[in-house]
Structure 1
Amino acid sequence: MTWFEHNFWTMVLATASIVGSVIALIHLLLRHHDYRSAAFWTALVVFTPLIGPLLYLLLGINILRRSGRRYRSGINEPWRDPVPEQPLPISSTDSWAMQEHQQLARTLDRISRFSYTLGNHLEILHNGDEAMPRMLEAIRGARQSITLASYIFEATGIGADFVTELSLAVKRGVQVRVMVDDAGTRYSRPPVVEALTQAGVTARRFMPSRMLLRLITMNLRNHRKILVVDGHTAFTGGMNIREGNMVARKPPHPVHDLHFQVTGPCVAQIQRVFTEDWAFCTNETLDGPLWFPDLTATGSTSAIGIVDGPDEDMEVMPAAFFAALNAAREEVKIITPYFLPNAVLIAALRLCAVRGVEVIILTPAENNIPFVGWAARTLYPDLLSMGCRIFESAPPFDHSKLFLIDGVWSFLGSTNWDPRSLRLNFEFNLACHDPELCRRLAAEMDTKLAQSREITHEMLENAPVLHRLRNGFARLFIPAL
């Protein structure tokens, strides 16, 4: 290489680095609203020229809000129904408690673009051992339509059973639509979308990263788990379709989890979420009685769907969580596999404890993403100092997600308490008002707590110095985790 060529390419790289840094900093100053995350990205852009702007382009910019508005505007979305004065059918001798519950219900009704539904029934399913056979049974019984969305869907093991049953449903004349997140298809070989297509099932990847421009959205994943059969029966929660969930089969890497079978009027909201995402992937509109039949009451649970994602639903879930924490008067119980809440939710948890609310948080002792577990432990001291109680569950890894308030409110679905879930991923939760359901879920948590260890200040202070340094280093990356 000649002297001229060497200097030419040096100048090109230097110019690209300067221009990229300036553009990234301008975008940060004008568009990035989370000051902590903005500070992290600013430091990365300034101190790692060229690499920093590239990482910000790939991981830090959200380009989906406008496109989300566009594709959903064409499917007659009920954006805001009037919020009734009394959204919940609550009758209580405690007028103060009744008023508090109605206020939270009205708040969630305003936060969500759905409205409260009455008369639902939810059944708790433990691990893949209970959930997967029940889901396969529902698919076998389908007569009109099946919609299925999953973050991870393996083509082998229990996933192969799903491929077979979905294919048989198509042969029976059932309309079947399957959507799998592109990143989630890479957890097994062969990719399940190819296996489904070969079996005659209409299947699509969500936001496939094939073209260069798709790299910009590589970090925005569809984390929702939805199965709706004949528009009447739904399954949702946090469970992926993979062999590791079949704990009784003793897989190499077992995963504990909870999933839910849902019937009643809120199934239409779950179906709605799938059809919106399907329209985004394929431009096909799923509507009419085939997908949305008339639904009647099947139980006593009041429920509302809460949709969150890096589009026009940006940060809806953190707002709902904050509203629930603010409304708590007696107890807050959280199970999450990844505990990295933002500063606002940490402050809300601390204030709950200050007000005398019992706050219990359960998270795995050995995380399947160790870096996340290391960073999470740096958040413990501030919470412990205010009276929050933190427990770590022993292996195998627990992927369950629950958020319980005052023995009556239950939040369940796909959302983790981490930046990726609360800001980057497409998520779906149900917020349920039902004392009996909450009692059963609290019993599930009590069982897990009995097999866990409580974390204390002394344990954290006596940890080896190298572990504390490692954890402190991991904390620097919380905005990107």
Structure 2
Amino acid sequence: MGPNTTIFAVFLAVALPLLVAFAVWRAVTTARTPQGAVAWTVFLVAAPWFALPAYLFFGQHKLKGYRITRRSSRLVRREMDAFCADYPPAEADGARYRAFERLAAMPAVGGNSADLLVDGKATFEAVFEAMDRAEHYLLVQFYTIAEDGLGNEMAERMIAASARGVSVRLIFDGVGSYGLPAHYLNALRDAGVQVVDPANAPGPTKRFQINFRNHRKTVIIDGQEGFIGGHNVKDDYLGKNPTFGPWRDTHLHLRGPMVAQLQLVFAEDWHWATGESIGGGLNWRPDSAEENLSGLVLPSGPADDMDTGALFFISALAEARERVWIATPYFVPDQDVLSALVGAALRGCDVKVLVPDAIDHYLPWLAAHAFFDEVRAAGVEVLRYEGGFVHQKVVLVDDDFAAVGSANLDNRSFRLNFETMALIFDRGFASRVAKMLEADFTSAYKMDKPLHEHPRWVRAAAPFARLLAPIL
């Protein structure tokens, strides 16, 4: 037996069990759910050669740096909250806002307007027009940016803004924007745009992380206007991908105090990724809007002390008395959200879930099939959109509450990604959202087929895909 063989044998006998034991201890003590702890423990013990690298990439759940960032923004938060106190929400009864305010750590505020932007053409026309109006600064954040027609137009707008003296900051996600060439980013930097990929944030394990993606999609102009929703910067979002055809997505154009809340989320992300505090140079007192909508911005992510993303859906479902309509590209709920969804249907609410008929990722598509029978048995109506690919993230509750943003109805958005939702409490706005979704329903069919009637490969694979729900 050679020396290399001996070293390998010692590793197998001593080091590997120790590494597995340490990883199991970490999984048990840091997992966000018991199901996740059990899944990682079984995987690590049963297949350590595969599980150890997977745990390094997927299994870490602590983001102390982001918590430090939250503390560092307290002064800005106090100033912003003092401003927001001058714009109380229209509804006097604050009880209905309380859960969402506590989850967001920000108050519900009045004095807002929210323009509903349906699909990519309307969204990016509005975004680019607003960017061209910028006089002081632009804050741009997207999960996916591609070097294509739309991506190049976005770059041109940022470069033009920088050339006229506007401060421009860009955050993008390295995984979501995988393949974005260096020359694209270098051209922005050479023009004076400050560019950050949060994957380069400090931390010894950061380079290995595939989880904890920054899935937010926002643009902020001079602290006066903000955009939030489901669109990324890629030609697909203009319906130019022949595989998917028309791309169905939704964004909001915000004005009023909610823009300051959206801006705070960006400032915290920037500080975490760079160590630079930019709050002192931003406008925290946007003009109020005559429409006077009430609402708040609710950020969520793996650094939160609570499972904010899941609790948003649970709280919204608990609010419902008449209806809950949800549009999401991925339907992979955890047990708590699943129970809340079923509970709303059992109370007699009209519960509809709009999902795509087209497939972009097979694992979540398969996992969803393992949930459909259960929710349909309780009275939930599952609709599959045939008019292209539905990517919007929209929640409508009763006739006076709607939310639009970046969070999908899946575990990744609940616990692993940084997300942001804009919550609006207003009958007029909810009516516009209802009409939008009703139009979407006309391009969808009701899914009645139970799992046992699907092709054999779907029946066989769906339960196994559901086992991966904690990371889908």
TM norm structure 1: 0.91
Give 3-state SS (helix, strand or coil) of 1:333's partner: strand
SS at structure 2 position matched to 1:70: helix
Q: CA deviation at 1:294?
A: 4.0
| Contact 1:150 1:226 (C-alpha < 8 Å) held by counterparts | yes
Map of 1:468 onto structure 2: 459
**Aligned match of 2:177:** 185
Give distance in 2, aligned partners of 1:214 and 1:168. 33
Q: Is the 1:182–1:209 contact (alpha carbons within 8 Å) kept by the matching residues of 2?
A: no
2:169/2:193 contact within 8 Å kept: yes
Q: Which residue in 1 is equivalent to 2:106?
A: 114
Greater Cα shift, 180-189 or 43-52: 180-189
Conservation of the 8 A alpha-carbon contact between 2:162 and 2:191? no
Tell me, yes or no, if the aligned pair for 1:185 and 1:192 is still in contact at 8 Å: no
Bigger Cα displacement from structure 2, 35-44 vs 330-339 = 35-44
Alpha carbons of 1:434 and 1:340: their partners in 2 closer, same or farther (altered >3 Å)?
A: same
Q: Distance in 2 between matches of 1:439 and 1:323?
A: 21
Match of 1:196 in 2: 188
- Alignment-derived partner of residue 233 in structure 1: 225
Question: Which 5+ residue runs of structure 2 have no aligned equivalent?
Answer: none
Contact 2:298–2:420 (8 Å) recurs in 1: yes
For 1:369, the equivalent position in structure 2 comes to 361
What amino acid maps onto 1:475 in structure 2? Answer: R
Matched residues in 1 for 2:305 and 2:221: separation?
26
Residue 200 of structure 1 aligns to a residue in which SS? coil
Counterpart in the other structure of 1:421: 413
2: CA distance between counterparts of 1:167 and 1:139? 11
Q: How far off is 1:191 after superposition? A: 6.4
Deviation at 1:474, TM superposition (A): 1.6
- Which amino acid counterpart does residue 167 of structure 2 have in structure 1? Q
Residues 176-205 of structure 1, C-alpha deviations (whole Å, 9 max, x = no match): 111111212314445643332133312111
Match of 1:70 in 2: 68
Change in Cα spacing, 1:211 to 1:36, as seen in structure 2 (3 Å) is closer
Query: How many equivalent residue pairs?
Result: 467
Q: How does 1:6-405 map to 2 (within 5 A)?
A: 6-64=5-63, 66-75=64-73, 76-78=75-77, 88-90=89-91, 102-190=94-182, 192-208=184-200, 213-247=205-239, 253-254=244-245, 255-288=247-280, 290-312=282-304, 314-394=306-386, 396-405=388-397
- Tell me: CA distance 1:119–1:282, structure 2 relative to 1, closer, same or farther (3 Å): same
What displacement does 1:56 show? 1.8
| Distance in 1 separating the partners of 2:311 and 2:204 | 34
Deviates most, 273-282 or 181-190: 181-190
Partner AA of 1:63 in structure 2: K
- 1:430 corresponds to: 422
1:229-267 C-alpha deviation (Å, 9 max, x unpaired): 1110111111101111112x5666543211111111111
What residue number does 1:95 align with?
Answer: none
Q: Report the alpha carbon displacement of residue 466 of structure 1 after superposing the two structures with TM.
A: 2.4
- Residue by residue over 1:111-147, the C-alpha shift from the partner in whole angstroms, topping out at 9 and shown as x without a partner, is 2211111021111112211111211111111111111
Q: Whole-Å Cα distance in 1 between the matches of residues 342 and 163 of structure 2? A: 55
Q: CA deviation at 1:9?
A: 0.9
User: Which amino acid in structure 1 is aligned with residue 470 of structure 2?
Assistant: P
Amino acid at match of 2:27: L
Query: Any conservation in 2 of the 1:364–1:393 contact (CA below 8 Å)?
Result: yes
Structure 1 unaligned segments of length 5 or more: list them.
Answer: 92-98
Name the CA shift for 1:169/1:4 in 2 (closer, same or farther; >3 Å): closer
Q: 1:448 corresponds to which residue?
A: 440
Q: What secondary structure does 1:362 align onto?
A: strand
Distance 1:280 1:185, change over 3 A: same
Distance 1:197 1:81 in 2: 34
Shift of 1:270: 0.7
What is the one-letter code of the residue matched to 1:430? A
Q: TM-score, normalised by structure 2?
A: 0.93
- Secondary structure of 2:172's counterpart equals strand
Tell me the amino acid that sits aligned with residue 39 of structure 1: V
The verdict on how the C-alpha distance between 1:472 and 1:396 changes in structure 2, with shifts beyond 3 A counting, is same
Partner Cα separation in structure 1 for residue 417 and residue 430 of structure 2: 26
Q: Cα distance, 1:305 vs. partner?
A: 1.0
Alpha-carbon contact 1:21-1:50 (below 8 Å) kept: no
User: Over aligned residues, Cα RMSD in angstroms?
Assistant: 2.4
Deviations 1:338-397 (A, max 9, x none): 110110000011111111111110111122112210111110111111111111111521
Aligned-partner Cα distance in 1 for 2:434–2:13: 58
**Cross-structure match for 1:94:** none
SS at match of 1:207: helix
**Is 1:407 paired with 2:406?**
no
Write out per-residue CA displacement over residues 413-461 of structure 1, whole angstroms, 9 at most, x where no aligned residue. Answer: 11011111110111111111011111111111111111111111x4433
Change (3 A) 1:251 1:227: farther
Query: 2-side partners of 1:306 and 1:153: how far apart?
Result: 23
Contact 1:236/1:413 (<8 A) preserved: yes
The 1-side partners of 2:184 and 2:384 are apart by 34
